[in-house]
Chains A and B, each alone.
Chain A
Amino acid sequence: EAQVTQNPRYLITVTGKKLTVTCSQNMNHEYMSWYRQDPGLGLRQIYYSMNVEVTDKGDVPEGYKVSRKEKRNFPLILESPSPNQTSLYFCASSQGGMNTEAFFGQGTRLTVV
Chain B
Amino acid sequence: GENVEQHPSTLSVQEGDSAVIKCTYSDSASNYFPWYKQELGKRPQLIIDIRSNVGEKKDQRIAVTLNKTAKHFSLHITETQPEDSAVYFCAATSSGTYKYIFGTGTRLKVLA
Contacts and interface: CB of A to CB of B under 8 A. Distances in A.
Interface size range on B against A: 20 to 34
A45 B6 CA distance: 16
Given A48-B98, A99-B32, A43 B44 contact: yes
Contacts, number: 62
Interface stretch (A18-26, A67-75, A77-85, A103-111): A103-111
A41 B9 CA distance: 10
B9 A40 contact: yes
Interface string B79-105: 000000000010101010011111111
Contacts of B49: 101
Contact of B99 (A94, A98, A105): A98
Interface of B: 1, 6, 9, 31-32, 34, 36, 43-46, 49, 51, 89, 91, 93, 95, 98-105
